[in-house]
């Protein structure tokens, strides 16, 4: 299949443009270099060895993961300085301990005193210490302690003082940038998150604690603000692929999106004024409902078509307006779907078909599970 045309693939198939991936990764490296902050790329979007090598420039150091499956996958392949940026799951403490005892630097994240208690009860071998990041909720509304809560400083102190534990850093995800529209709004959220994090760092300094600081999201790191240079690290992830959602937010242009899903017309339905395609939600995901004029995805080169609904293995395509010209779409016609959410779409595929200039280069195989 190497060197072949994209149309030779069986559909649905996830296509990754290697040139765009490399360009997106280099741009993020350049931004961080200009800011003077460490880039700690998040692996959650692609979960592949090849993507990680591109994002780390081949260093295989300093990454973020969202599952222990990812941590083990990368740890087994020579990666180190891995941050498991997910509120510590108590059923996985032993697996975290195994990684902490095997790697030079495996780091976990906590946002509750009971999580710290679980770590102190599981002492690491050979005098090793747990490396812990404190998760802040800076208006993101997900995991984390509020930086305004006095309990947040107390928890940081408890981590710093606990036997066998080290407070490595403070971590915040400005996921509320995903509600933005345009660079000005993105940068306003990035500024707010940066200020909240830095103010919290001052609170820690006042009680004698110094550690790293890290914030991240693809929108904020695609359009960073000057004060982010005062942070230790940033941790974006989706930027390696980007997607339609990111283009709507203002993180990128549609031309920067590195992934497509190849699908084909498998049915004509004149009674419904629809085409049937062989990509359902198992090949794309249901993300994007109600967000796009073109339905669940952008159909590349066909702005007049709309992916209106999907079942598990089927998609229904109809014109944005008017009657469909079925003669323009014979059975077997290939269509390219630009996904609304690349992370969700990539998760649907056991293999990615990588290409350059329309010719296949090979395959990337992602890790799966938790």
Residue 250 and residue 254: Cα distance in Å, rounded? Answer: 10
Range of the domain at 274: 254-364
Q: Are the C-beta atoms of 129 and 164 separated by less than 8 Å?
A: yes
In this structure, the answer to whether residues 135 and 264 fall within a common structural domain is: no
260-275 pLDDT, tens digit per residue, is 999 999 999 999 999 9
In this structure, the answer to whether residues 203 and 273 fall within a common structural domain is: no
Residue 13 CB coordination number (10 Å): 17
In this structure, the answer to whether residues 231 and 339 fall within a common structural domain is: no
Residue 345 and residue 342: Cα distance in Å, rounded? Answer: 5
Percent of residues, the chain, with pLDDT higher than 90: 96
- Is position 314 within any domain? yes
This prediction has a pTM of 0.96
Bridge partner residues of 132 (DSSP): 108, 167
Instruction: Please say if the pLDDT value at position 369 is more than 90.
Output: yes
308-352 pLDDT, tens digit per residue, is 999 999 999 999 999 999 999 999 999 999 999 999 999 999 999
Residues 126-132 have a mean pLDDT of 97
Domain boundary among 205, 240, 275: 240
In this structure, the answer to whether residues 222 and 283 fall within a common structural domain is: no
* Sign of the alpha-carbon dihedral angle for 258, 140, 41, 14: negative
* Sign of the alpha-carbon dihedral angle for 97, 98, 100, 101: positive
Instruction: Look at strands 359-364 and 130-136 and give their pairing.
Output: unpaired
Domain boundary among 240, 268, 291: 240
pLDDT of residue 1: 61
DSSP reduced 3-state for 24? helix
Residue 283 and residue 70: Cα distance in Å, rounded? Answer: 21
In this structure, the answer to whether residues 279 and 359 fall within a common structural domain is: yes
* Sign of the alpha-carbon dihedral angle for 158, 159, 162, 167: negative
The number of distinct structural domains making up the chain is: 2
CATH number reported for the structural domain that contains residue 138 in this entry: 3.20.20.10
In this structure, the answer to whether residues 295 and 337 fall within a common structural domain is: yes
């Amino acid at each position: 299949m190497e060197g072949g045309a994209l149309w030779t693939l069986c559909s649905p198939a996830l296509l990754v443009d290697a040139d765009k991936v490399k360009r997106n990764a280099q741009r993020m490296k350049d931004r961080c270099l200009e800011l003077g902050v460490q880039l700690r790329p998040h692996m959650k979007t692609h979960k592949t060895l090849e993507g990680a090598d591109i994002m780390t420039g081949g260093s295989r150091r300093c990454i973020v993961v969202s599952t222990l499956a990812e941590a083990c996958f990368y740890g087994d392949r020579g990666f180190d300085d891995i941050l498991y940026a997910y509120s510590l799951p108590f059923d996985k403490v032993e697996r975290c301990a195994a990684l902490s005892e095997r790697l030079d630097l495996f780091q976990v994240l906590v946002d509750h005193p009971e999580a710290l208690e679980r770590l102190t009860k599981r002492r690491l071998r050979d005098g090793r210490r747990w490396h812990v990041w404190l998760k802040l909720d800076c208006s993101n509304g997900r995991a984390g302690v509020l930086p305004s809560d006095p309990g947040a400083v107390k928890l940081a102190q408890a981590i710093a003082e606990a036997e066998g534990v080290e407070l490595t850093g403070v971590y915040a995800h400005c996921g509320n940038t995903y509600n933005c529209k345009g660079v000005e709004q993105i940068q306003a959220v990035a500024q707010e998150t940066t200020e909240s994090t830095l103010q919290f760092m001052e609170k820690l300094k006042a009680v004698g604690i110094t550690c790293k600081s890290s914030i991240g999201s693809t929108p904020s790191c695609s359009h960073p603000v000057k004060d982010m240079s005062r942070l230790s690290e940033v941790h974006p992830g989706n930027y390696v692929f980007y997607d339609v959602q990111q283009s709507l937010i203002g993180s990128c242009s549609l031309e920067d999106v590195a992934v497509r899903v190849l699908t084909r017309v498998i049915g004509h339905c004149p009674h419904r004024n629809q085409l049937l395609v062989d990509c359902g939600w198992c090949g794309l995901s249901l993300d994007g409902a109600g967000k796009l004029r073109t339905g669940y995805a952008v159909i590349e080169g066909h702005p007049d078509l709309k992916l209106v609904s999907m079942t598990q293995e089927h998609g229904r395509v109809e014109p944005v307006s008017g009657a469909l010209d079925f003669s323009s779409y014979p059975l077997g016609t290939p269509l390219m779907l630009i996904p609304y959410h690349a992370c969700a779409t990539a998760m649907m595929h056991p293999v990615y078909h990588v290409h350059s200039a329309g010719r296949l280069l090979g395959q990337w195989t992602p890790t799966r599970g938790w």
